[in-house]
Amino acid sequence: MKSFVRDTVGITGKELKQLRRDPVSLILTIMFPILLIGIFIVIVSAFRATTHNVPIVVADLDGSPASNELLNKLTQSRFVHVTQLVQTEDQAYQAVANGQAIGAVVIPQGFGVDLAAGDAFVIVSTDNSKLTSSQFVTEAVNEGAQEIVTQATQEGGVSFGLKLAPIEVITRPVSGRPPTGDPILPGFLGMIAILGAFDDIVNAISRERERGTFPRLALSPVSLFAVYSGKMSATVVLTILRTALMLLIFTLYGLVIRGSLILIFLTTILIAIFTLSLGLTISARIRGTATLTVLEIAMTFPLFSLAGTTTSPLLLAPGGTAIANSLPWTYGNDALRRLIYLGSGFNAIAGDLTILLVSSLILLPIAILLSKRTM
Amino acid sequence: MSIAGFLDDSIAVAENEFRLFRRNRSAILISLVVLPFFFTASLGAGRGGAGTTYYPTANIPIAWVDNDNSLASIRLWHSLATSHDFRNLIEGYTEQGALAELGTKRIYAVIVVPKGFQNDLENGYQARLILYTDDSEPGVSDQIQATLTTYTQNFDPNVDVQPYLSQLQRQSVAGVGIVTKGAIFAGFNVGLTTVLAIVQIFAGFYEIAGGMSREREDGTYARLLVSPIPIGSIMLGKTLFDVLLSVIRTFTVLAISVYGYGARPNTDILTLLSLSLIIALVTMGIGFVVAALKVGQRAVVIIEFFLILFLFAFSGLIIDSNLLVGASQVISYSLPFTYAFDALKRTILLGRPLLSLTFDLEYMIGSIVATYGLAFVLLHFSRERLIK
């Protein structure tokens, strides 16, 4: 037992020393978290911009005070920018079809009269191939219409015979955070653990095989179990470092981490160990470092959507939910979200951690067996 | 050298590439099976097939707490529980009990009807519903709130059965109907525009840049350079090889999408193939430039990963380019892939003829010429450096 621990520590030290000597891998370990967060910041800052200036054209076919009021609301909207006022409905649609505008708003003749009767409508045509921008156009018109109705109701005397939407829905997130919180950051932490562990496999096994040093290691008096254990320990050390870096970035970004830090580290370590076990199994068959890395990357992108990183598995199509539920990473990401956002304790995530642990325990012996066979 | 000789050399290089490819089972598997199948199937699993409709909130367990116990609140419950969107409304919770369950994965939201709900409606005031959500599930809060709002903003407490509202009517504000025009696309079709391009970028970049790095590391690139084959032929040969693989990948993605997930692209196969190949050529051009920089195989894969992440952020995949701000927008508009994704959306979704997308095409073809030209110059002037 003593020699096993000594060998494990020896192999761990060797792995870390090798990483230190390999600038590409070292940079990669640090760059992954920074790049992911950088992309997140770019996207979030775009969504949170105070103005969006989505180009729209407006055809006011009514010319009444009510339609003017709606036009004013649209020109003042923070979502859209009225680039042109056109005379006819067709011109408005044509502008969207030609790509001159992302949306066209048509205020039909009789809008003012109909509004007074509580039965008005406007037509919004959008280029829905612009997925996010088209939503902003509808949002702007909705907001403008709501403001007109509110204004009319408040002014009483000039009431158009309208009323506000009868029921208002007030949302209170259980975490107490604002509803526009950053729900994907814990998932990013999970992804970093996965990517990092995959990368460790490439460094730890495939590269040694390519250089021919793995058979030498296997022929040394160190047991194969101690070799794997050492490589796994190195991954644990690196996962702790990566997790610490991510948590530091989260904190600098202003994210409040509610749960126990120890449990967060434990979860990322278990995610990494499971990924490592899977990587070891795959690397027994696919031996080239580059091929393995390509496969790793190919797996990463679907995992963003299927393992609960960016979207909850609850919102996927039934097939997607079933796949998500069969992936141990989903449970790791789930545990991270509960820890970071809700401050859940060990009992709440014990099931998630058990699934990760059991999956690793099933895969590890398979990986060692396959490695022995293909050595 | 004559054109015929140049072409002969190019074909010889392409044949050599195919021979090497045929002998590499992992490469065949990853390039022609794993990448097209994995990406397309993941899209289908996540978004559902193009012809299927699913209701994201339908099966999410949500507690219903009625503190008003009035006719209006019962009617609201009835309209929600009988809808497609809220099939898993659970009654019988107290407010405190439901809130205690939130965050335990037994329920993901609690809808509370406060006391005085009916009274407010009767007196013409705006009534309120309180929605507590487990916001540790990304997107769930927003989705439940948006769906619930569509039912409540047109709710009529005076009728037993709420009239069916079309999607268009649901977007309306009370008193002002908002009639939306413009085609609505199935999530799968939207995703197909991304998958078709990403598969080509992923595979094309690795096959060119990774392939040349591998040859350099194995020492076969040096032998190729000392042969009488000119650099141009080497580039053309490798391009021909990868173009053929790109054609196979395009058909694989389309076959899985159309026959497996019911996708109906709004354009013809020739347009799809042309766009797909243009994207592949842009990627190959960049691949040649990277290969000329003498980077190792592993570095190539890492660059590829960063490239794809970069594209997700800046090419209008997650957020439209026009919504990006400052430097991000400049980066976005200078990337040829931004125009590639735009062209794919306009053809696959809107059915625009390919030749009408003049600017997109000009920019992409210009990028192909620029990257191939740059790669040629770099490869030509770094012959010695690359074989050391």
Q: Do B159 and B197 lie in a common domain?
A: no
Q: Note whether residue A164 is domain-resident.
A: no
Rounded to a whole number of angstroms, the distance from the CA of B237 to the nearest CA of chain A is: 22
- Could you report the average pLDDT of every consecutive run of 10 residues in chain B (388 residues)? 86 91 85 88 82 84 93 89 90 91 90 90 83 88 87 75 56 62 80 91 90 85 84 93 95 93 91 96 95 82 83 84 85 93 91 92 96 94 73
Q: Which residues of B touch A167 (CB under 8 A)?
A: 76, 121, 126-129, 152-153, 155
Ramachandran area for residue B59 (φ above 0: left; ψ -120 to 50: alpha; else beta): alpha
Q: Is A222 helix (H, G, I), strand (E, B) or coil?
A: coil
Q: Do B194 and B85 lie in a common domain?
A: no
Q: Which pLDDT does position A160 carry in this prediction?
A: 46
Residue B323 touches chain A, beta carbons under 8 Å: yes
Q: Which pLDDT does position B105 carry in this prediction?
A: 87
Q: Do A34 and A69 lie in a common domain?
A: no
Q: Do B322 and B247 lie in a common domain?
A: yes
Q: Note whether residue B198 is domain-resident.
A: yes
Q: Do B191 and B114 lie in a common domain?
A: no
Residue at a domain's end among B142, B170, B198: B170
Q: Note whether residue A240 is domain-resident.
A: yes
Q: Note whether residue A162 is domain-resident.
A: no
Q: Do B43 and B66 lie in a common domain?
A: no
CA A141 to chain centre: 29
Write the residue in B104, B128, B139 that is nearest to A168 by C-beta: B128
Smallest CA-to-CA distance from B175 within A166, A50, A267, A33 is with A166
Can you give the pTM of this predicted structure? 0.82
Q: Do A103 and A208 lie in a common domain?
A: no
How would you write B258-277 as a 3-class SS string? HHHHCCCCCCCHHHHHHHHH
Q: Do B96 and B194 lie in a common domain?
A: no
Q: Which pLDDT does position B296 carry in this prediction?
A: 79
The fraction of chain B above a pLDDT of 70, given in percent, is 94
Look at chain B and report how many structural domains it folds into: 2
Residue at a domain's end among B109, B140, B170: B170
Q: Note whether residue B145 is domain-resident.
A: yes
Q: Which pLDDT does position A161 carry in this prediction?
A: 43
Domain membership of residue A81 as a residue range? 54-155
Q: Which pLDDT does position B374 carry in this prediction?
A: 96
Q: Do A190 and A123 lie in a common domain?
A: no
CA A260 to chain centre: 22
Query: By CA distance, what is B98's nearest residue in A?
Result: A174
Angle between helices B269-292 and B211-218 (to 10 degrees): 40
Q: Which pLDDT does position B364 carry in this prediction?
A: 96
Q: Note whether residue B163 is domain-resident.
A: yes
Q: Which pLDDT does position B240 carry in this prediction?
A: 95
Contact status, residue B120 vs residue A165, Cβ threshold 8 Å: no
Q: Which pLDDT does position A333 carry in this prediction?
A: 93
Q: Do B149 and B194 lie in a common domain?
A: no
Q: Note whether residue B180 is domain-resident.
A: no
Q: Which pLDDT does position A353 carry in this prediction?
A: 96
Q: Which pLDDT does position A287 carry in this prediction?
A: 66
Q: Do A129 and A104 lie in a common domain?
A: yes
Q: Note whether residue A166 is domain-resident.
A: no
Rounded to a whole number of angstroms, the distance from the CA of A212 to the nearest CA of chain B is: 15
Write the residue in B133, B137, B178 that is nearest to A142 by C-beta: B178
Residue at a domain's end among B143, B170, B197: B170
Q: Note whether residue B181 is domain-resident.
A: no
Q: Do A151 and A189 lie in a common domain?
A: no
Q: Render each residue's pLDDT in chain A as its tens digit; 375 residues.
A: 778 888 888 888 888 888 788 777 777 777 777 777 787 777 777 777 777 889 999 999 988 888 888 899 899 888 899 999 999 999 999 998 888 899 999 998 988 888 777 778 888 888 888 888 888 898 888 888 878 877 766 665 444 444 555 677 788 887 777 655 577 788 889 988 988 888 787 777 777 777 778 778 778 888 878 888 888 899 899 999 999 999 998 888 888 888 899 999 999 999 999 998 888 888 777 767 777 777 777 777 788 788 888 888 888 888 888 999 999 999 999 999 999 988 889 999 999 999 999 999 999 888 878 877 666
Residue B76 touches chain A, beta carbons under 8 Å: yes
Q: Do B306 and A118 touch (CB under 8 A)?
A: no
Q: Note whether residue A173 is domain-resident.
A: no
- CATH for B110: 3.40.1710.10
Q: Do A299 and A205 lie in a common domain?
A: yes
Q: Do A217 and A85 lie in a common domain?
A: no
Q: Do B214 and B248 lie in a common domain?
A: yes
Q: Which residues of B touch A209 (CB under 8 A)?
A: none
Domain membership of residue B318 as a residue range? 3-51+186-387
Rounded to a whole number of angstroms, the distance from the CA of B229 to the nearest CA of chain A is: 28
- CATH for A125: 3.40.1710.10
Distances (CA, A) of A339 to A213, A250, A343, B146, B253: 41, 14, 5, 26, 39
Q: Which residues of A touch B343 (CB under 8 A)?
A: none
- Residue to mutate among B79, B110, B156, B176, with most A CBs inside 10 A, is B176
Q: Which pLDDT does position B165 carry in this prediction?
A: 56
Q: Note whether residue B149 is domain-resident.
A: yes
**Surface of B (178-237) touching A: CB under 8 A:** 178-185, 190, 198, 202, 206, 210, 213-214
- Beta-strand relationship, A103-107 and A120-126: antiparallel
Query: By CA distance, what is A130's nearest residue in B?
Result: B320
**Surface of B (237-296) touching A: CB under 8 A:** 296
Q: Which pLDDT does position B43 carry in this prediction?
A: 86
Q: How many CA atoms lie within 13 A of B69 on its CB side?
A: 3
Distance CA A287, CA A285 (A): 6
Find tokens 């990587």 and name the residue. A279
Look at chain A and report how many structural domains it folds into: 2
